[in-house]
Chain A
Amino acid sequence: MSIASIIGQALVLFGTFFYVLSSLGLIRMPDVYNRMQTATKSATLGSLGVIIGVGIWAIGEVGSYSWIPKTLIVAVFLLLTNPIAAHALIRAAYKSGVPLWEGSIVDRYKEAESSLERVEEIKEKLEEPSRGVEINE
């Protein structure tokens, strides 16, 4: 058993542990947003561990270095696309009206939307006097 096999197996075990944690979080958490948060983070970390670990493990097991570029491509692709998919899903869930858990204490998205509305109200009020001046002239 070479040293590359040992390092690769340790990485694969690490990734598998995080995979199991992510599916446990999917069961345990109270609402969609919490579930998505635990599941996406730990599943991304776990797949990085498993995929790069397989690339290193193959050096000792198969004896070929050609696995590492392919596994790196898969890992980088997952690292880039997983957060994008999670963000799109959560935005869609919020806009389709899925309620927050009753114990959640802060809703930054709602605060940002209401502050945007206030900015637009202030802009309208600022434009009104200039219109009045034009009518007076």
Chain B
Amino acid sequence: MIEVYLFLIAVAVILSMYRFFRGPTTADRIVAVDIMTTLTTGLMVLFALYYRRAIFLDVALVYAVLAFVGVIAFARYMEGGL
């Protein structure tokens, strides 16, 4: 049953990739990257249950921290402060 949810989240990531490649401005692409990182965090948590290893949850937490820092850095760059 977990495979169905993994497949649905993968479909959502592919749908948001459309906006990443198509997006007319830079801001569109960064929004798409932000959504993709959020989706990937959920995917990692589901993979932890799929392989039954609680240690994978720590990977998801560190990934969420790094994605947040990355998006903030992109935002500062677009604003002209970096």
| A residues neighboring B (CB under 8 Å) | 9, 12-13, 15-16, 19-20, 22-24, 26-27, 32, 35-36, 39-40, 43-44, 46-47, 50-51, 54, 57-58, 61-62, 64, 66-67, 70-71, 73-74, 77-78, 81-82, 84-86, 88-89, 91-93, 95-96, 98
Is B19 a contact of A92 with CB atoms below 8 Å? no
Q: Which residues of B contact A57 (CB under 8 A)?
A: 49
The residue from B1, B5, B49, B64 contacting A74, defined by CB atoms under 8 A apart: B64
Q: A9-B1, A47-B38 are in contact. Are A77 and B27 (CB under 8 A)?
A: no
Is B25 a contact of A98 with CB atoms below 8 Å? yes
| Chain A contact residues: helix, strand, loop or mixed | helix
Task: Tell me, rounded to whole Å, the shortest Cβ–Cβ distance linking B56 to chain A.
Answer: 10
What are 14 contact pairs spanning A and B, CB under 8 A? A23-B35, A27-B19, A43-B39, A50-B9, A51-B41, A74-B57, A74-B61, A84-B72, A88-B76, A89-B34, A89-B75, A92-B78, A93-B25, A93-B27
| B residues neighboring A (CB under 8 Å) | 1, 5, 8-9, 11-13, 15-16, 18-19, 25-28, 30-32, 34-35, 38-39, 41-42, 45-46, 48-49, 52, 54, 57-58, 60-61, 64-65, 68, 71-72, 74-80
Nearest chain-B residue to A73 (Cβ)?
B61
| Chain B contact residues: helix, strand, loop or mixed | helix
Q: A71-B57, A89-B75 are in contact. Are A26 and B35 (CB under 8 A)?
A: yes
Nearest chain-A residue to B28 (Cβ)?
A32
Nearest chain-B residue to A18 (Cβ)?
B12
Task: Tell me, rounded to whole Å, the shortest Cβ–Cβ distance linking B74 to chain A.
Answer: 7
